[in-house]
Amino acid sequence: LNRRLDGLGTTIFAEMSALAATTGAINLGQGFPDTDGPEEIREAVVAALRDGHNQYPPGPGIPDLRHAIAEHRQRFYGHLDGRAYDPDTEVLVTTGATEAIAAALLALVEPGDEVVALEPYYDSYAACIAMAGGVRVGVPLRPPTFDLDIDALRAAITPRTRLLMLNTPHNPTGKVLTREELTAVAQLAVEHDLLVITDEVYEHLVFDGEHIPLATLPGMRERTVTISSAGKTFSFTGWKIGWVCATPELVAAVRTTKQFLTYVSGGPFQPAVARALRLPDSYYEGFAADMRAKRDVLVSGLEAAGLTVYRPQGTYFVTTDITPLGFDDGLDFCRKLPELCGVVAVPEKVFFDDTPESQKIGRPLVRFAFCKREVVLREAAERLATLH
């Protein structure tokens, strides 16, 4: 392994899902639902396989999907800025948001550039910044609210800062950035002439507040790469269809790296995701309402089990502090948890920098996923309640 990848051995998701598989514990670790997305969308893949969508699709994605992505964006956010994205030049289909993140960072970061990211950060950000030869600079979000500290963000920006890496709704904290916070981010980006990559894969999972795409704010359209994915919104995490929306120049840059990473993305899934994006508003509302109910079940269960629970405003994750249970290190806790009570969760300290200040925040934090059937969530909470 080259030195750029020091410390990036195995993702915590793989470690924890493997632990769930070997112990048979309830897996509230890696974020994937335990029920699949809509039947009619699954059928659309079957039809695509039968109808011969089995060879390389076009590199930027099939036109129907690019159109559906642009339409979806207009339907949900057009009222915020009244500006459409051109499906031919401003939309790119990727192999999940994961590839979009990698391709965007590899396209836009020069070796030695600083990339400012919210901490805790989704683990692929750190890996891809490192692969691009960039230097990650974290801005911590702190419990209980995980609000963005604008002064800390301002202080993190130096003459070497090239871009900001944003994520809202935020994994793992469940924080949804407010219009005020986003406005402050936008002002700093414009003032320092920074590019921004914003990961909005949980755009349809907001329970309190509103999802505002950063690109809709003044001055941001021309400097923002917006990333999303079908995995979370339609409960098909295994399909790996994501996308990028940005200006033609930025999309061209990301397309350049994408074409040498994967060349193209999942042929038969693309027509099906196009269809999914065109589902009526009732689908999106129902999906968020179901997930909100699951959040409430798990939050109550974890509170009853004695953990400190930071109620998430969005995503399908809840952050807790395990200190009241008599533990102080989330990684140790998560490695023992299957044996102690048959549950798997994810320690958040691995999403924080390896500095004393960052580790102090991250050490006792543990994330639980609630994209599971309610019976499963209740059973997990009962098992956790045996710990105290």
Q: Which residues bind ligand GLN (CB under 6 A)?
A: 11, 13, 30-31, 171
CB of 98 or CB of 320, closer to ligand PMP:
98
How many CB atoms lie under 10 A from the CB of residue 197? 29
- The answer to the question of residue 168 lying near ligand PMP (CB under 6 A) is no
Helical H runs in the chain? 12-23, 39-50, 63-81, 96-108, 123-131, 150-156, 179-191, 230-233, 248-261, 269-277, 281-304, 330-341, 356-362, 374-385
Nearest to 85 by CA among 103, 60, 108, 109: 60
- Residue 97 binds which entry of ligand PMP, ligand GLN, none, with Cβ cut-offs from 5 to 8 Å by kind? ligand PMP
CA distance 109 to 77: 28
CB within 8 A of 305, min separation 6: which ones? 325, 381, 384, 385, 387, 388
**Shortest spacing between CB 204 and ligand GLN, in angstroms:** 15
Identified binder of ligand PMP from the candidate list 15, 90, 119, 199, rule CB under 6 A: 199
Of 231 and 301, the one with the shorter C-beta distance to ligand PMP is 231
Which does residue 30 touch among ligand GLN, ligand PMP, none (CB within 5 to 8 A, set by kind)? Answer: ligand GLN
What is the amino acid identity at position 138? G
Contact 176, 168 (CB under 8 A): yes
Determine if 201 is a binding residue for ligand PMP (CB under 6 A).
yes
Q: Is 235 an interacting residue with respect to ligand PMP (CB under 6 A)?
A: no
Q: Measured at CB, which residue is nearest to ligand GLN?
A: 31
Nearest residue to ligand PMP, using CB? 96
- Contact (Cβ atoms closer than 8 angstroms) between residue 6 and residue 354: no
What's the Rg (C-alpha) of the chain? 20
- Mask: binding to ligand PMP, 315-354, rule CB under 6 A, as x and -? ----------------------------------------
Cα 345 from Cα 334, distance rounded (Å): 6
13 binds, among ligand PMP, ligand GLN, none (CB under 5 to 8 A by kind): ligand GLN
Handedness of CA 262, 264, 268, 274 (dihedral sign): positive
Q: How far is the CB of 11 from ligand GLN (least distance, A)?
A: 6
| Interface pattern 7-46 for ligand PMP (x via CB under 6 A) | ------------------------x---------------
Q: How far is the CB of 369 from ligand PMP (least distance, A)?
A: 10
The yes or no reply on residue 247 touching ligand PMP (CB under 6 A) is no
Give the type of residue at 149: D
Q: What is the spatial distance between Cα 176 and Cα 76, in angstroms, rounded to a whole number?
A: 17
Smaller CB separation from ligand PMP, 106 or 305: 106
Q: How far is the CB of 132 from ligand PMP (least distance, A)?
A: 17
Chain residues binding ligand PMP by CB under 6 A are 31, 96-98, 122, 167, 171, 199, 201, 229, 231-232, 237, 240, 242
